Amino acid sequence: MADWIKIIGWAKITKQAGALQARVSRDELDRIARQIEADAMYGTFGEFTSNYWKNAFTEDLNNLANATFEAEDDTKVRITLNLNSSKFDLGSGGLQHLLGVLAGDLFFLDMPGFKIDNVTITSVELPKSVEEELSGLYESNGYTTGRVKTAFGLKPAEPLLAFSIKPRLGLTNDALREIVLGVLGAGFQIAEFDTRYLDLTPKNAEFLLKLANDAAAVGGDRRFTRLSPNLSVPPPLAVDFYKAFAETSPWPQVVKVDGGFDGLATIQSLRNSFRDRKSPIITCYPLLAQQISSKIPRDLFNAALALSGVDIIYPGGSPRVGGGTRDLGAEERTAVSAAANRYVRLAARERPMITLAGGIYAGQLHAFYELVGPGVAYFLGGCVALHKEGPVAGARMCVRVIEEAVKLHSEDAQKIKELPGKLIEEIESAYEKPQGASETVFRYTSPASLLKQVKVDRWG
């Protein structure tokens, strides 16, 4: 019996009758479904009905795929498509193959007399056998949130702090060195090259290896500090570089691989190639998630990256807490509540560790800490780099905010206090306000005020 990959989605299907459109009948929907299931695995634009094909197949074609279409109204149709999971060899790129099928031309069907558009896949369910096989191949060699935090010597109440190096490109090596070592010295655990920085040419690789060694020395015997190179490159190049990189410090080593075109293969290759104590902690930004979300739901793409071996990931959809103490509108309250509760649920799973990232500034850190807790990592870029006195000063300020948030929460988790007034003043004067920005930009967000307005399943 087949283990099915279950795909559920929607489409708009209409029948073209001259210049008019008509509702598609039950029999016509069944015919379209048969064409879809054939195209999904073995078919072409027609059916294999001649006697030539009678004994040509190794198995019953019904065991490869099946589909049902159910009309919801005159044009909206619910699609259920099942694919035989055994036809996707997981050890040889089968997961990438599946995502390629979903994102490719599967539902771009051209059938005379019909118009099929607005196709959106809403969910994809992998059978347990597939998840277990992927876990054995890649994920089992990865790390939980607790293991990552222990590796960096963090207490349960302390979140992981990483600097996503900004500017992404264009800095001299001297400036990079000064910034990386300064930010780590200020209290961050990781300095990570962002999406655009992919220079692994021999000369620059030599610089990165030396910088990684120096970055690991910043913490001394007191704490762990690491440089994370961006290995969003083809698998052989990533594996070759990591062999030398792993020798720059004792474990843990941290590397970044973005969820782009080479992402899954590179992550899988790193997991397969290093199955001992030198196996890296792998961070990931799902670069293509939004662009392909109508065919590959974000949660599936994130799950595919995690099953391939990612340990730390930005899951998208982080809470937008705004600034200041203003009252949120009804839609804003609902959105913040939903996003925060999703983050709390994802963090509770322990793998992969999830991150807050993108547009966060220091005045929001305290609110985020109370909202989603210390199991979520902070990957901060502009929050550090845009400080008026430079990135090292920005890093020091962020560390002070987090340390104060941890202290206040440990004193009384139920009664949420504000940060000290002087620290709030420093936060609110730390950045140049963009021209035309609202008065709340870069203001301190009061966690007490925020949590009175939103419904959140509190962490801890």
SS3 per residue for the chain = CCCEEEEEEEEEEEEEECCEEECCCHHHHHHHHHHHHHHHHCCCCCCCCCHHHCCCCCCCHHHCEEEEEEECCCCEEEEEEEEEHHHCCHHHCHHHHHHHHHHCCCCCCCCCCEEEEEEEEEEEECCHHHHHHHHHHCHHHCCCHHHHHHHCCCCCCCCCEEEEECCCCCCCHHHHHHHHHHHHHHCCCEEEECCCCCCCCHHHHHHHHHHHHHHHHHCCCCCCCEEECECCCCHHHHHHHHHHHCCCCCCCCEEECCCCCCHHHHHHHHHHHCCCCCCCEEEECCCCCCCCCCCCCHHHHHHHHHHHCCCEECCCCCCCCCCCCCCCCHHHHHHHHHHHHHHHHHHHCCCCEEEECCCCCHHHHHHHHHHHCCCCEEEECHHHHCCCCCHHHHHHHHHHHHHHHHHHHHHCCCCCCCCCHHHHHHHHCCCCCCCCCCCCCCCCCCHHHHHHHCCCCCCC
Residue 159 pLDDT: 98
Q: What is the pTM of this model?
A: 0.93
Domain 4-127 belongs to what topology?
A: Alpha-Beta Plaits (3.30.70)
Tokens (6 digits) for 147: 């293991």
Considering the domain delimited by 138-453, tell me its CATH architecture: Alpha-Beta Barrel (3.20)
Residue 448 has pLDDT above 70, yes or no: yes
As a whole number, mean pLDDT of residues 344-364 equals 94
What pLDDT is stored for residue 324 in this prediction? 66
pLDDT of residue 22: 74
Which stretch of 55-59, 195-199, 408-412 has the lowest confidence by average pLDDT? 55-59
Report whether pLDDT(325) > 80. no
pLDDT, one tens digit per residue, over 92-121 is 899 999 999 898 877 776 777 888 888 899
Q: Are strands 190-193 and 226-228 parallel, antiparallel or unpaired?
A: parallel
Name the pLDDT band for 404 (thresholds 50, 70, 90).
Answer: very high
Residues 246-257, mean pLDDT to the nearest whole number: 96
Look at residues 318, 252, 240 and name the one whose alpha carbon lies nearest to residue 282. Answer: 252
Distance, in Å, from the CA atom of 174 to the CA atom of 160, rounded to the nearest integer, reads 26
In this predicted structure, what is the pLDDT of residue 37?
Answer: 86
Nearest to 173 by CA among 143, 148, 206: 206
The answer, yes or no, to whether residue 326 has pLDDT greater than 80, is no
Model confidence at 457, pLDDT cuts 50, 70, 90, reads confident
Q: H-type helices in 255-329, by residue range?
A: 263-273, 298-308
Q: Which of 78-92, 98-112, 237-251, 335-349 has the lowest mean pLDDT?
A: 98-112
279-320 confidence digits (pLDDT tens): 999 999 999 999 999 999 999 999 999 999 999 999 999 999
Q: What is the mean pLDDT of the chain?
A: 92
Question: Would the pLDDT of 321 be above 90?
Answer: no
Provide the pLDDT for residue 18.
Answer: 61
pLDDT value for 205: 97
The pLDDT assigned to 141 comes to 86
Q: Percent of the chain, pLDDT > 90?
A: 70
More confidently predicted of 201 and 14: 201
Confidence of residue 438 (pLDDT cuts 50, 70, 90): confident
Which tokens in the block code for residue 263? 């992402």
Least confident stretch, 8-17, 223-232, 264-273, 425-434 = 8-17
Helix (H, G, I), strand (E, B) or coil at 11: strand
**pLDDT digit string, tens, across residues 181-211:** 999 999 999 999 998 899 999 999 999 999 9
C-alpha span between 145 and 151 (Å, rounded): 10
Percentage of the chain exceeding pLDDT 70: 97
pLDDT at 366: 97
Averaged pLDDT, 59-72: 89
pLDDT tops 70 at residue 73: yes
Query: Structural domain boundaries of the chain?
Result: 4-127, 138-453
Distance, in Å, from the CA atom of 54 to the CA atom of 452, rounded to the nearest integer, reads: 69
pLDDT score at 20: 64
More confident residue, 33 or 284: 284
Is residue 21 pLDDT above 80, yes or no? no
Extract the runs of DSSP E, i.e. beta strands, from 154-237: 161-165, 190-193, 226-228
The answer on pLDDT for 344 being more than 80 is yes
46 secondary structure, DSSP code: S
In this structure, are residues 197 and 173 in contact, taking their beta carbons and an 8 Å threshold? no
